[in-house]
Amino acid sequence: MPAPAAAPASRFALTQETLEYETEHALQFIDITEAVRAMVERSGIVAGQVSVNSMHTTAAVIVNEHEPLLLNDMARVLSRLAPAGDYYEHNDFSIRTVNMTDEECANGHSHCQHLFLGASETIPIQDGRMILGPWQSIFLVELDHARRRAVLVQAMGLAAE
């Protein structure tokens, strides 16, 4: 019986990039799949995982289907779960004393919507490619208002030598 083929030489590697986006409005779903895919390809990692992390408490990262009517449905559900017009103590600047800035806005609803989505997703890497299902895309979800957003993408695993 022949000996099994030797595995290609490899080493552990970690690489990260920050992707920046200018959002346009609340409940905007920005498909960042191709930007993350390109980063994974540049990383040289052949087996491992990529972590995609929003650097904000009012912008989320999710994996879901990129279908326009579904995105509308998801925005509507988030609006119902935490409506902008409800009372949030976070928005009551007469009682709030923590984490206040000059440009503070009434965005308690955005933070509460974030509870349902989360800040990050982790996607496996196999044979140098992200492994996503046929309908899965990676989204940055703006929950607040138009502004610059940052997404930290960190790929780690075995890199071909």
Query: For 93-123, what is each residue's pLDDT tens digit?
Result: 888 889 878 888 899 999 999 999 999 999 9
pLDDT of res. 99: 87
Q: Over 60: is that where the pLDDT of 135 sits?
A: yes
**Reported confidence tier of residue 134, pLDDT bands at 50, 70, 90:** very high
Q: pTM of the entire structure?
A: 0.91
In the chain the domains, ranked by start, together with CATH numbers, are 10-87+105-160 (2.60.120.460)
Distance CA 51, CA 71 (A): 23
pLDDT of res. 94: 87
| pLDDT tens, residue by residue, 44-84 | 999 999 999 999 999 999 999 999 999 999 999 999 999 99
Q: Over 70: is that where the pLDDT of 8 sits?
A: no
Q: Over 60: is that where the pLDDT of 6 sits?
A: no
